[in-house]
Structure 1
C-alpha cells in the first residue's frame, strides 16, 4: 500500500489545511472549554486546531505530531515530536485533549483514544474531528470515485471516520457523556486548477497516491475530474466538506 506523506507544511496547507482551518473554530466552540485551560492538540500538524484554540481565548497549548516538518510549520507554542498512540506525556495533566484530522492516520485508533484519556485530567473533555471520507468530504470523494482504486480509497481505509465507530471508540476508552455532530463548510475553488494543483503537492493520502502513478494515468484522472466537477459560469467549483466530531469526558472520580 502507498504510504501517506506528511512532511511539507506549505503543500499540506493548500491541499487540505486551508479547509481544516474553517472547521477548527466550529469544533472548538462546540466543546465549550473555558479560557485559561491547558490543552493538548494530538496530531497538531501545521497548527490549524491550535490556532483556533488560541483565537478563542487565553490557553496553554501543547502540540504533538510525528512529523518534524509539520512541527516546524506550526505556531510558536510548545511542540513535541511524538506518536498519538504513545504520547510522551504524563498522566492526567490536560483540561482538554483534542485531535483534528489525525486519528484515522494512527495505525491503532483505539490505542490513541486510550492515550488521550490517560493524559486527560479528571473531568476533562476529550474530543476529535475527522473528515467524512464516505461522502461528505466532496473534494476527496470526487477524486477517489474517479481513481477507482478501493485499496487506497480513504473511505475504505479509515472506518473510524464515521459517527458510529467514533462513538464506540470513545465509550471503549471509558469516556462518558459521549456526543457526536457533523460540521459542514463550503469549499469553493476559484478554478479547476485551484482544485487540482494541490493534489500534485505529494502531501496527504490522495496526493501521495497520485505521485505513484504514471503520467498517463494522472492525466486521465485529471481530465475525468475536469469533466465531472460542477463548474459555474466563471469556472468556480463549489463543493462542501463535512467532518464528524466526537467529544466525551473523563470521569472525575
Structure 2
C-alpha cells in the first residue's frame, strides 16, 4: 500500500498548497483574533496559512511547527517575514509550555496526524484562556472534486485504489467528527462551517502533473504504477474531467473549518 509522503515542499505546493492559500483567507476571516497576538500554526507545511496570517491579521509573532524537515525548510525559504519562525515538531507533543500562545490554527494537517484527539488536546493546552483554536480540513468524502475525480478513475481498473481514498480513510474530514474532537478537548463555543473555493486548472496538464510529484496519498499511489497503468489512468481522467471551451478545468473544492475557544 502506498503511504503519503511529506518532504518536497515545491511538489506539495503545486499539488494542494496553492489551493490551501485560497481557503486560508476565508478561514481567518471567521476567527476575529485581534492584532498584535502570538499565533501557532500546527502542521504549517510550506507556510500557506502562516503567510496569510502575516498578511491579514497583523500578528506580533507566528510560530509554525511541522513534522516534515523538508516542509519546514521550504517554509523558511518562502516566508521571510521576521515575525515568523518555523521548527520541526510533533502535533501530539508540541514543544511549547502551557498557555503560551493567543491562537492555535492548523490547515489541512489534522487528518494526517496519528491520534488527532491528542493533537487537539495539545492545541487546548498551549493556548491562553479564551484563546481561539481552529483548523480546516478538506472535505475528502464529497467536496474536494480534484481528488474525487482522481480516485473514481483510479478505482475503475484497480479496486485496491479505493482503500487509499482519503474520503473513506479519514473520518475527521466530516463536520460531526471535527466538532466532537473540539468538544472532547474541553473547548467551548464550538462551530463548524464550510469554506468553498474554485480550483481552476489551466489545462489537463496543469491538473495531472501535480499527481506525479509524490506528495500526498494520490501522488504516492501514482508512483506505485507501472508506466502502462499510469498512462491508462491519465487517459481515463482526461476523458472524464469537465473541460471548458478554453481548455481549462474548473472544479469545486470544499473544506470544513472548525473553531472553538479555550475556557476562561
TM range (shorter): over 0.9
**Cα offset, 1:33, TM superposition:** 0.6
Query: Size of the alignment, in residue pairs?
Result: 252
2:214 aligns with: 202
2:93 aligns with: 86
**Cα offset, 1:190, TM superposition:** 0.8
Matches within 5 A, 1:110-189: 110-148=117-155, 149-189=161-201
**Cα offset, 1:128, TM superposition:** 0.2
Deviations 1:189-223 (A, max 9, x none): 11000100010011111101111111122111111
**Cα offset, 1:72, TM superposition:** 1.1
2:58 aligns with: 58
**Cα offset, 1:107, TM superposition:** 1.1
1:45 aligns with: 45
Matches within 5 A, 1:60-79: 60-74=61-75, 75-76=79-80, 77-79=84-86
**Cα offset, 1:179, TM superposition:** 0.3
Tell me the distance in 2 between the aligned counterparts of 1:216 and 1:90: 52
Runs of 4+ in 1 over 4 A off after TM superposition: none
Tell me the distance in 2 between the aligned counterparts of 1:33 and 1:57: 7
Provide the TM-score with structure 2 as the length reference.
0.94
Deviations 1:154-204 (A, max 9, x none): 001110011010000100000000001000001111100010001001111
1:3 aligns with: 3
- Does 2:28 correspond to 1:28? yes
User: For structure 1, which runs of at least 5 residues remain unmatched after alignment?
Assistant: none
Tell me the distance in 1 between the aligned counterparts of 2:187 and 2:57: 26
> Contact 2:38 / 2:101 at 8 angstroms: preserved in 1?
yes
Tell me the distance in 1 between the aligned counterparts of 2:66 and 2:211: 22
- Does 2:233 correspond to 1:221? yes
**Cα offset, 1:57, TM superposition:** 3.2
